[in-house]
Amino acid sequence: MPEVKIIAKNFMDMVASLPAMKLDKLYDNAFICEAILRSLPPLAKKYVLQMLYIDSPITAKSMEVWVLPDGSSKHRVAIDRLIQLRVFTETVDRRKETTYKINPTFQTNLQKLLTHGEVLPREPMPSNITVRLPSVEELDVYAIGQWECFLLQLISSAQAERPSNISSSMMKVFQRGLLSQRDKEAPRLTDSGFQFLLMDTNAQLWYIIREYISNSEERGVDPADLISFLLELSFHVTGEAYNSNTLTEVQRNTVKDLTDLGLVKLQQGRKESWFIPTKLATNLSVSLTDSSSRKQGFVVVETNFRLYAYSTSKLHCEILRLFSRVEYQLPNLIVGAITKESLYNAFENGITADQANILLQLTPELYSQIISFLQQNAHPRVAERIPTVPENVTDQIRLWESDLNRVEMNPAHYYDEFPSREIFEAACDHAREWNGLLWEDSKRMRLVVKAEIHIHMRDHLRGQKQ
């Protein structure tokens, strides 16, 4: 299995990684241009605005004059980003002089935006047509509900309550890297899958969206179209209804998928149908580290390693089950216990035998992730208590962790059946000389040496035979 690194980079990195052609096409869309402008670092924003009405290329030298010497690193970052996003194009002429020029499509669109003002991608539908629009709270509940249902389905399809529109093949794509399946066995969470579940919603969402975009070509959808639509969506207003007629065929299909993720809600009127973006959609392009939208905590951990989670969510139950033993499920409470077994099982479940060697490097991250999950989701009752998770519990979790690290793995070779004691002893001496003797049992004439001296040992033993 390839090593999956879960990096929650931002949406614009994804945009920047598109091929030049696609990127240029993307700038046909005025909202994208605006979104890009918004996402830029401050200095880059200034450059764009400065060059907005200049049609001829500017030399790199003359641009450097704009910044003070100590700002040069910021300058570099800004220029790099602009080139990456193809907002600027870089040319080196015959005299080896570097010049920058602003992308003409981008330029035109942005000029238009400045003079004509912002235009919404589509107008919300008038309220006399749309009826029964959900309130903001209802919409939030809906979005979280959909998202959790999706996650449940993701980690174990048997748990999901409702069938969803997301095809099983697409589900497989999402599960890739998060779950591992060996033939005939039930799929199990991998190390990354484990980390994934402990991340906050925004980070998880971004991971899924990234997979969704990068897989789009297989479904015959242009990733650029998809990115453009998702960015467009983030310019819509949460809770407003937008007519589905305004969507292209591709977009309409995408909206169906996004419904399952909780990004939009679909409603059907008498004649028209419309979609309502939720806050998950409108937050998509904003900074992912924004934690202002943090939900209220729900977990109480006691000094006796008991864990009480005020939650009705099945997903929470599944997450807790990852590292604790769930004992009671009540209508609005989950009761469990953190045990050494439950923690170790979690890792052993997630990690297949051939990965055993990377276990040692990965687990510390997981442990601290569990602890931070418990801390971040602390119930308001204990949130003001310091520490939120009792010290003896976090200590013990760390000690369990360090228990795993007590074993140091050394590749080694084992020798036995020595023909005579002399040869055995000579072999021991030889290994000692190379500083590679790990263990010897002189009674039964067995020894273990470091793998790297195996070749010397072999030569030595061959020499003895002759």
Partner 1 sequence: MGHGEKGRPNKKHKSSAKEDHRIIVEDEDAYYGEEVDDDNRDGEKKRDFTKLELKPDHANRPLWACADGRIFLETFSPLYKQAYDFLIAIAEPVCRPESMHEYNLTPHSLYAAVSVGLETETIIAVLNKLSKTKLPKEMIDFIHASTANYGKVKLVLKKNRYFVESPFPEASDYVLKKLLKDEAISKARINAEVSNGSDGFTISKAKGEIGTGHEDLLSGAEVAAAAEEKETHAFEVDPAQVENVKQRCLPNALNYPMLEEYDFRNDTVNPDLDMELKPHAQPRPYQEKSLSKMFGNGRARSGIIVLPCGAGKSLVGVSAACRIKKSCLCLATNAVSVDQWAFQFRLWSTIREDQICRFTSDSKERFRGNAGVVVTTYNMVAFGGKRSEESEKIIEEIRNREWGLLLMDEVHVVPAHMFRKVISITKSHCKLGLTATLVREDERITDLNFLIGPKLYEANWLDLVKGGFIANVQCAEVWCPMTKEFFAEYLKKENSKKKQALYVMNPNKFRACEFLIRFHEQQRGDKIIVFADNLFALTEYAMKLRKPMIYGATSHVERTKILEAFKTSKEVNTVFLSKVGDNSIDIPEANVIIQISSHAGSRRQEAQRLGRILRAKGKLQDRMAGGKEEYNAFFYSLVSTDTQEMYYSTKRQQFLIDQGYSFKVITSLPPSDTGADLSYHSLQDQLALLSKVLSAGDDAVGLEQLEEDADDIALHKARRFMGSMSAMSGANGMVYMEYSTGRKMQGQLKGKPKDPAKRHHLFKRRFT
Binding-site ranges for partner 1 (CB under 8 A): 300, 302-306, 308, 312, 325-333, 335, 337, 339-342, 348, 356, 359, 381-382, 390-393, 395-396, 398-400, 403-404, 406-407
Task: Decide whether 216 or 363 has the Cβ nearer to partner 1.
Answer: 363
Convert 55-102 into a string of H (helix), E (strand) and C (coil): CCCEEHHHHHCCCCHHHHHHHHHHHHHHHHCCCEEEEECCCCCEEEEE
Distance in Å, CB of 288 to partner 1, minimum: 32
Distance in Å, CB of 366 to partner 1, minimum: 14
Distance in Å, CB of 424 to partner 1, minimum: 22
Task: Decide whether 215 or 342 has the Cβ nearer to partner 1.
Answer: 342
Task: Decide whether 116 or 406 has the Cβ nearer to partner 1.
Answer: 406
Q: Which residue has the tokens 């993307």?
A: 26
Distance in Å, CB of 258 to partner 1, minimum: 30
Reduced DSSP (H G I as helix, E B as strand, rest coil) percent helix, strand, coil of the chain, to 5:
55, 15, 35
Which DSSP string corresponds to 413-461?
EEE---SSHHHHHHHHHHHHHTT-EEEEETTTTEEEEEGGGHHHHHHHH
Contact by Cβ (8 Å): 223, 211: no
Distance in Å, CB of 2 to partner 1, minimum: 23
SS3 213: helix
Distance in Å, CB of 463 to partner 1, minimum: 35
Q: Which of 345, 383, 352, 380 is nearest to 366 (CA)?
A: 345
Burial of 180 (0-12, 13-18, 19+ CB in 10 A): buried
Task: Decide whether 329 or 369 has the Cβ nearer to partner 1.
Answer: 329
What whole-number distance in Å separates Cα of residue 169 and Cα of residue 175?
Answer: 10
What whole-number distance in Å separates Cα of residue 44 and Cα of residue 63?
Answer: 12
Task: Decide whether 75 or 306 has the Cβ nearer to partner 1.
Answer: 306
Sign, CA torsion 140/143/145/147? negative
Task: Decide whether 86 or 379 has the Cβ nearer to partner 1.
Answer: 379
Among left, alpha and beta (phi > 0; psi -120 to 50; other), residue 435 is: left
SS3 165: coil
178, two tokens: 């998060």
Distance in Å, CB of 442 to partner 1, minimum: 15
Those residues whose C-beta lies under 8 Å from the C-beta of residue 208, and which sit 6 or more positions away, are 150, 174, 261
Task: Decide whether 287 or 405 has the Cβ nearer to partner 1.
Answer: 405
Give the CA distances from residue 135 to residues 132, 147, 276, 295, in Å, rounded to whole numbers and listed in that order. 9, 18, 11, 18
Q: Which long-range contacts (CB under 8 A, 24 or more apart) does 135-141 make?
A: 135/239, 136/238, 136/239, 139/238, 139/239, 139/265, 139/276, 139/278, 139/279, 140/278, 140/279
Q: Which of 191, 201, 189, 183 is nearest to 159 (CA)?
A: 189
Task: Decide whether 14 or 335 has the Cβ nearer to partner 1.
Answer: 335
Contact by Cβ (8 Å): 27, 109: yes
Distance in Å, CB of 340 to partner 1, minimum: 4
Distance in Å, CB of 394 to partner 1, minimum: 11
Distance in Å, CB of 305 to partner 1, minimum: 5
H or E stretch at 300: strand 299-301
Task: Decide whether 216 or 342 has the Cβ nearer to partner 1.
Answer: 342
What whole-number distance in Å separates Cα of residue 363 and Cα of residue 398?
Answer: 10
Task: Decide whether 27 or 347 has the Cβ nearer to partner 1.
Answer: 347
Pairing assessment for the beta strands 273-277 and 264-268 based on DSSP bridges: antiparallel
Distance in Å, CB of 327 to partner 1, minimum: 5
Task: Decide whether 327 or 459 has the Cβ nearer to partner 1.
Answer: 327
Distance in Å, CB of 188 to partner 1, minimum: 16
Task: Decide whether 223 or 336 has the Cβ nearer to partner 1.
Answer: 336
